[in-house]
Structure 1
Amino acid sequence: MDERAKIPVSLPLDSPTQSYWQDPPDAIADLRTTEKLPDAADIVIIGSGISGGATAWHLLQDQPPKARSIVMLEARQACSGATGRNGGHTKAASYRSFLDHAAELGTPAAVQIAQLELANIRAMQDLAHAHPDFHCDAQACDTIDIIYDAAQWAKAHEAVAAMRAAMPPDDPAAQYSFFSRDEVQKQFHCHDSIVDGKEERLCGGVVYPAGSLSAYKFGIGLLKLSLAQGLNLQTNTPVVAPLLKNADGTWTAQTPRGSIIAKKVVVATNGYTAHILPRFQGVIVPLRGQITAHRPGQAMPLAGCLPTTYSFIYEKGYEYMVPRPAGSRFAGDIVIGGGLVRAPDDGLLEYGTTDDTAVNQTISEYLRETTARYFGPDWGEDDPAGRVRKEWTGIMGFSPDGFPFVGEMPGEKGLWVSSSFQGHGMVLCWMSAKALAEMMEGRDGERLEAWFPGAFRISEERLAKRFEGRLHTTAAVADAVEASS
């Protein structure tokens, strides 16, 4: 893993695989608000995904329109990175990390993280429902984790019990229900799984509130709101070199179209951060994720428009699945991603890569079979047009301790970061951006500390940690890390 973490982080590459959500691209995909790149701005935001867009939106709420200049730089098309490529799951799964967080940070901090994750989901859903013109197919629904590993089934019960003991009885962040193996088969249409001749026996399911949306359309809608309030968006304008600190305390971002100077810079580039800020080389490590969109099998209940979203959890890894809701484009399609550990060496070669122009063929072959395997007789024959409608990849960012980096860089006044969301951005980015805006506006005090985890803040101690692999994703974290090192 050390060698993978050392691979120099590149800019986003040209000609990435086309995401299901970005086909076709939105009308603002290649927008440049002004023909010429401004020479200077009060604030430059690098990255136009949910982190950059939410930061801009929160900052613009504090000022009259155009009271200060905010320029957003995007290397490729608007919202074309991880946000425009993920599966659209607004799903916290807080019980899966709660015991690890409690052991590392203490129970109050673990509670705070779980509550923030749920608040993030609700805030995004609320904004989407307040703006139906986003057309992002936002829906609040339950989700189920289908568990195929006895150790994780036992740990799920332990974690939920710990959450209920630590939180008030009516706290929605501790709202979980368990379903037996038979109940899962009958109500959720899932069955035992066989991979490479080895049976993975279904243990049961965990159900809790979640939701889904088109993250691409949500992100585009958010950018349009900010554009109406004065944001200057400059797409296809990559920052090609590390940021430069000027003698007067300002910062310079260099692009192929010229340089721009800003009093404050926000780096919202997730897995690509180390290209702009070399201190994050080996600290925020890119990881390529892969997704496929399947046409529903002909026996699928409700023609594939299932009322819940799913995850399928096994010994070292998982898949996540979002059925496209009724009334949406391609209603009934099954969007399923994951499969990392099914690649050689538990997917080791996917770490350190920023190449989203291609797919991993081993993971591709595995993901193509997932739906028919998990749903078994409830899948039926494939659609006559073929099972797979589209497949693509995207680049995530992972940190040594499993937490995002949010805040001002130590000793670098005016340089702010919100990055490294562990493939969990749809339940972390919004509230992290809100917290970052509070910090930038000088409102960093007890009120912010009451809801924003201290573990997410940038510190010298965190920057010095060694990356060893993904955390908080399996029942036996230490074993998984050792296996992938």
Structure 2
Amino acid sequence: MARPYPVPDATIPYWRTELHELDSHRSTAELPQKQDIVIIGAGFAGAALARYLLEDSPSGKPSITILEAREACSGATGRNGGHLRPDLFVSLAARMQEQGLKTANSVAVFEVANEKAVAALVAEENIACDLQQVTTADTFVDQAEAAKIKKLWDVMVRLDCPTLKGVTCYGPEDAERVTGVKDAKIAFTYPAHTLWPYKLVMHILAGAVRRGVNLQTHTPVYEVSNTPDGEGYWTLSTSRGVIKARKVVFATNAYTSGLLPEYDDAIYPARGTVCRVVPKTPVDVKLGSCAVEIRSPASVDCYYGARPDGSLVIGGAKTMFEDRKNLWHRNYDDSTLIEPAVPYFPIWPGKALAGWEGNTVELDRVWTGIMGYSADDTPHIGPVSSKPGLYICAGFNGHGMPNVLLCAKGLAMMIRDGCPFSQTGVPACYETGAERLRKISKRNAAPVINRARADIFLKHSYGS
């Protein structure tokens, strides 16, 4: 099996139609020979890491180079659905089943903190990235699945789940009216944001470059040495020669195992498809953002975000290709489309959204993105085991926007200040390590025969 690696001639997302001056920037004609820190990846994680590594550094400003295989912010962040959407209930319920109430709560609260941190950064620096506060929803149209999620809701409202205070549940009498989703049987609404992700990241990246970070785009890294040299430097082999660094950060998300094979079981690429549709006649949508679920508690068919110009950015179309795993599972080709999804997008608004019936919808643009799926549904943050000086910030499950900023801040504290993971504010379950990788590999190797998750009702009674 070929290792995951960014491919040439990627599809062009809507977010990359107004390119920043640093999109294909190289700060110097040649690569620096030695650096204190090299960050691999110039997406949200790489840009945010550079920002925080420069803050209040106790030993003076470190020398930092960012290496990017293609253009800046050309990976997952520049190809997503344009949401800043912490999951306050549905993923909380799924994680609660898998990892327990305490862990689920810590992740949900952390995502809310990330959303607030991004919004505060945008306001403080007046970042022109179309950030809009919206009401979002998780909506179920299948009666049986709606009944399942309602049972989960009834259990969880009796527990100590801080983020549920921000969620409103609407039953069959009100769900369609509130969300505008046809035949909605139940819906959960809560506050979120939409934005232009590329513009946010490029603003952060530009700030880092102004402060001395050396950005090198179109410089793929082919290999990182297995050990540091006698002076403590790791050697990175690139398309443009060798660069050495005392510390290396893998902000490589879906492509992580291409350079760190020990993460092959833990983080793998998964293709997704997103589009922008423009109605011929302007149509109002009830909500600024919405996801239509196909299974309880956490499986989305399509989701949309409303743009200020009246268009919709729609992602998913999962029902059209989910059973054809070769089209998405461990597939890292974003130069081609998931073809079964393409004809589904223009007809989906008319089928799913009230008021869109019979309206001609132009498919303005459709693109592919490569997500970094984590085998245990949790990002990997922290030092790479047995390789002192190597760090990872990856595996965001297509849910990086409400996670990355504070993960990067926490990891920067570890790299810059020697801060222990427990004091970074990052959820404990995000910490990477040898034991976690071992458990993932062991689980992956086990026979998948009637593998069942513990039922929430066995763990939490109505009287809790």
Tell me how far 1:255 sits from its aligned partner.
Answer: 0.8
Alignment of 1:349 with 2:327, yes or no, is yes
After the TM superposition, which residues 197-208 of structure 1 pair with which residues of structure 2 at under 5 Å, given as runs? 202-208=184-190
Partners of 2:366 and 2:251 lie apart in 1 by 25
Partners of 2:292 and 2:393 lie apart in 1 by 29
* Mapped contact 1:11–1:238 kept (Cα < 8 A): no
In the alignment, structure 1 segments of 5+ residues that lack a partner are 1-6, 193-201, 326-330, 470-475, 480-485
Tell me how far 1:445 sits from its aligned partner.
Answer: 5.6
What is the percent sequence identity of the aligned residues? 32
Partners of 1:347 and 1:368 lie apart in 2 by 23
Does the residue aligned with 2:77 lie in a helix, a strand or coil? coil
Partners of 2:200 and 2:60 lie apart in 1 by 23
Partners of 1:368 and 1:79 lie apart in 2 by 27
Pair 360,378 (structure 1): closer, same or farther in 2 beyond 3 Å: closer
Pair 361,65 (structure 1): closer, same or farther in 2 beyond 3 Å: farther
Residue identity in the other structure for 2:131: A
Tell me how far 1:174 sits from its aligned partner.
Answer: 3.4
Partners of 2:355 and 2:154 lie apart in 1 by 34
Tell me how far 1:438 sits from its aligned partner.
Answer: 1.8
Alignment of 1:146 with 2:121, yes or no, is no
Tell me how far 1:182 sits from its aligned partner.
Answer: 4.2
Q: Deviations over 1:95-137 (max 9, x none)?
A: 11223323433322211111001111111111112222x3110
Match of 1:454 in 2: 428
Identify the range of structure 1 (72-81 vs 138-147) with the bigger mean alpha-carbon deviation.
Answer: 138-147
Does the residue aligned with 2:208 lie in a helix, a strand or coil? helix
Tell me how far 1:477 sits from its aligned partner.
Answer: 7.2
Partners of 1:375 and 1:65 lie apart in 2 by 56
Residue identity in the other structure for 1:222: I
Tell me how far 1:369 sits from its aligned partner.
Answer: 1.9
Match of 2:278 in 1: 295
Alignment of 1:262 with 2:245, yes or no, is yes
Q: Deviations over 1:399-426 (max 9, x none)?
A: 2211111100111100000001011111
Partners of 2:413 and 2:319 lie apart in 1 by 38
Match of 1:184 in 2: 175
When normalised by structure 2's length, the TM-score is 0.89
Alignment of 1:309 with 2:300, yes or no, is no
Pair 119,147 (structure 1): closer, same or farther in 2 beyond 3 Å: same
Pair 352,434 (structure 1): closer, same or farther in 2 beyond 3 Å: same
After the TM superposition, which residues 391-470 of structure 1 pair with which residues of structure 2 at under 5 Å, given as runs? 391-440=366-415, 441-444=417-420, 446-448=422-424, 451-464=425-438, 465-466=440-441
Aligned CA-pair RMSD? 2.4
Alignment of 1:275 with 2:253, yes or no, is no
Residue identity in the other structure for 1:310: C
After the TM superposition, which residues 110-121 of structure 1 pair with which residues of structure 2 at under 5 Å, given as runs? 110-121=104-115
Residue identity in the other structure for 2:432: I
Residue identity in the other structure for 1:368: P
Q: Deviations over 1:299-338 (max 9, x none)?
A: 612xx6x55211111135421210002xxxxx11100001
* Mapped contact 1:56–1:231 kept (Cα < 8 A): yes
Alignment of 1:284 with 2:267, yes or no, is yes
Does the residue aligned with 1:372 lie in a helix, a strand or coil? helix
Match of 1:212 in 2: 194
Match of 1:129 in 2: 123
Does the residue aligned with 1:71 lie in a helix, a strand or coil? strand
Pair 231,140 (structure 1): closer, same or farther in 2 beyond 3 Å: same
* Mapped contact 2:88–2:167 kept (Cα < 8 A): no
Match of 1:59 in 2: 53
Q: Deviations over 1:188-227 (max 9, x none)?
A: 32213xxxxxxxxx31211011111111111101101111
Number of equivalences: 442
Does the residue aligned with 2:330 lie in a helix, a strand or coil? coil
Q: Deviations over 1:76-106 (max 9, x none)?
A: 0011000011011111223112233234333
Identify the range of structure 1 (140-149 vs 354-363) with the bigger mean alpha-carbon deviation.
Answer: 140-149
Identify the range of structure 1 (14-23 vs 221-230) with the bigger mean alpha-carbon deviation.
Answer: 221-230
In the alignment, structure 2 segments of 5+ residues that lack a partner are 446-451, 456-464
Partners of 1:278 and 1:80 lie apart in 2 by 23
